[in-house]
Amino acid sequence: MERIILDVDTGLDDAAALLLAAGLEELHIEAVIATAGNVGLSKTLENTLNIMETVGADCPVFRGADKPLLRDPVEAGDFHGVTGMDGPTFGPRVLQHVQEENGIDALIRLLKENPHQLTVVSVGPLTDLALAMAKEEGIALLAKEIVIMGGSFSYGNVTKVAEFNTYADPEAAQIVFSSGANITLFPLDCTRTVTLTKERLDAYRRKAGRATEVFAACMDTYMANYEKKGQGWPQIHDPLCVAYLADPTKVECESAPVAVDIEEGTSYGQTVKLTADDTSKIRIARSIDIPWFWSLVERALDTLS
């Protein structure tokens, strides 16, 4: 069983990633850290607590960074809504509340207590990881693996060349990508290939259970916002990082060093593959077994029902 720490900026596809992680028997969630990203920290934290309450999880939820390292915050409410997770409604929480310990300190503590045993799944800006690395030298090397949704090696989704998570904190991404840690990266080039159709969503909607209800409500909003923008079926980015850990053989990867453009200008936040040299290489996901991925989603929703 993979023991994971999830670092999320919970919007609609982050919610799907959390539901998937909670419903797969191959994974055990040790902790969740909410960071600013899709919307501000107060909203991503609230969304995270509500999703973890929905699945009945007893793992701790921590408060991460409330702003990028250097740049002004950018948000993605046009895709995720004003709350960052428009669609589902939630009642009072019984199980979940935010922990007093800061999320960056918790990440450092957990990795030091469990060296090479915990995988960090980061599907938002990489600010929390970068702050942990600045505070505790070599901490990223204690992770069994760091799985990241971010970057693009073709075209972006927030600028012509930059993907949102990397663009939201390019300096943090550059620190993490150059850390020498064991990293697997899911860029837009891979995640764009996995889309949710109305027919599939309707099939999931017919399942019983609160988790499925929340999933469907999230995806209704996500789908509507993609349609408004004329961008086709919604792309299911973040859950791919979770699915990969259930069976890495279902993902085809290549290896290359990766850098982030942190100079002001039109290419700010762009990820680039470097020529192989002594620089640490990162596994870059190129494709995933899509029918298998959707079978995992179905199984997780069945488990949570």
- How remote is the C-alpha of 248 from its chain's centroid? 17
Distance separating alpha carbons of residues 205 and 214, to the nearest angstrom: 10
User: Is the pLDDT score of 20 beyond 90?
Assistant: yes
Q: Are 258 and 273 in contact (CB under 8 A)?
A: yes
CB of 303 within 8 A of CB of 25?
Answer: yes
Q: What is the DSSP letter of 119?
A: E
Q: pLDDT averaged over the chain?
A: 95
* Residue 101, pLDDT above cutoff 90: yes
Give the pTM: 0.96
pLDDT tens by residue, 202-259: 999 888 899 999 999 999 999 998 988 888 899 999 999 999 999 999 999 999 999 9
C-alpha distance from residue 160 to each of 21, 24, 185 (Å): 31, 36, 20
The pLDDT of residue 279 = 66
Rg of the chain over Cα atoms, rounded to whole angstroms, equals 18
Number of alpha carbons in the 13 Å side-chain half-sphere of residue 200: 17
3-state secondary structure of 97: coil
Catalytic site residue from 7, 9, 14, 169: 9
Do residues 257 and 276 make contact, with C-beta atoms less than 8 angstroms apart? Answer: yes
Tokens for 265?
């200008």
Q: How confident is the model at residue 77 (pLDDT cuts 50, 70, 90)?
A: low
pLDDT band at 80 (very low <50, low <70, confident <90, very high): confident
Q: Is 153 helix (H, G, I), strand (E, B) or coil?
A: coil
Q: In this structure, are residues 167 and 159 in contact, taking their beta carbons and an 8 Å threshold? A: yes
Mean pLDDT of 270-280: 81
**What's the CA gap between 269 and 304, in Å, rounded?**
37
Residue 277: what pLDDT?
64
Q: Residue 287's closest CA among 160, 212, 192?
A: 192
Percent of the chain with pLDDT over 70: 98
Looking at residue 194, its pLDDT comes to 98
Scan for tokens 């053989």, then name that residue. Answer: 249
**Based on the number of CB atoms within 10 Å of its own CB, is 137 exposed (0-12), middle (13-18) or buried (19 or more)?**
exposed
Cα–Cα distance, 222 to 77 (Å, whole number): 11
The question of whether 86 is a catalytic residue gets the answer no
**CB burial readout 282-302, b (16+ within 10 A) else e:** bbbbeebeeeebbebbbebbe
Look at 53-67, 115-129, 194-208, 265-279 and tell me which has the smallest mean pLDDT: 265-279
What Cα–Cα distance (Å) separates residue 123 from each residue in 15, 79, 205, 238?
Answer: 11, 16, 25, 6
149 has a pLDDT exceeding 70: yes
| Count of C-beta atoms within a 10 Å radius of residue 230 | 6
**Per CATH, domain 2-304 is 3.90.245.10:** yes
Which pLDDT value is given to residue 98? Answer: 97
Domain edges within the chain: 2-304
Task: Supply the pLDDT for residue 231.
Answer: 85
